Amino acid sequence: MPFIRRLIATTVAASLTLSTLPLYAQPAAQGDSGLIRTEQVAAGAAPVAAAVQGDHARLLATLDRADLAERLRERGVSADELRVRIAALTDAEAAELMARIDKAPAGADILGLVFTVFIVLLVTDILGFTKVFPFTRSVR
Partner 1 sequence: MRGGRRRLLTALGGTATFGAIGALGGLGGCASLADPPQTQALDGAWPAGVPPQLELRDVPFVPQTPLHCGPATLAMALGHIGIAVDVDQLGRLVFLPARGGTLQLELLAGARRHGALATRVPGQLSALVQELAAGHAVVVFLNLGLAMSPVWHYAVLVGHDREAREFTLRSGPVERDVFSWRTFEFTWARGGHWAVAVLPPGRLPATAAETDAVDAAVGFERVAAPAEAARAYTALLARWPGNLSAAMGLGNSRHAARDLPGAAAAFETAATRHDSAAAWNNLARVRWALGELEAARQDARRALSRAEAAEPRWLEPARATLAAVSAARP
Which among 139, 14, 102 has a CA at the least distance from the CA of 94?
Answer: 102
DSSP structure class, residue 46: S
Q: What are phi and psi of 47, to 5 degrees?
A: -75, 80
Residues at the site binding partner 1, with contacts judged by CB under 8 A: 15, 18-19, 21-23, 26-27, 29-30, 33-42, 46-47, 75-77, 81, 84-85, 87-90, 93, 119-120, 122-123, 126-127, 129-139
Nearer to partner 1, 75 or 103 (CB): 75
Smallest distance from the beta carbon of 69 to partner 1, in angstroms? 14
Nearer to partner 1, 5 or 131 (CB): 131
Nearer to partner 1, 107 or 131 (CB): 131
CA distance 4 to 6: 5
Distance of CA 131 to the CA centre of its chain: 22
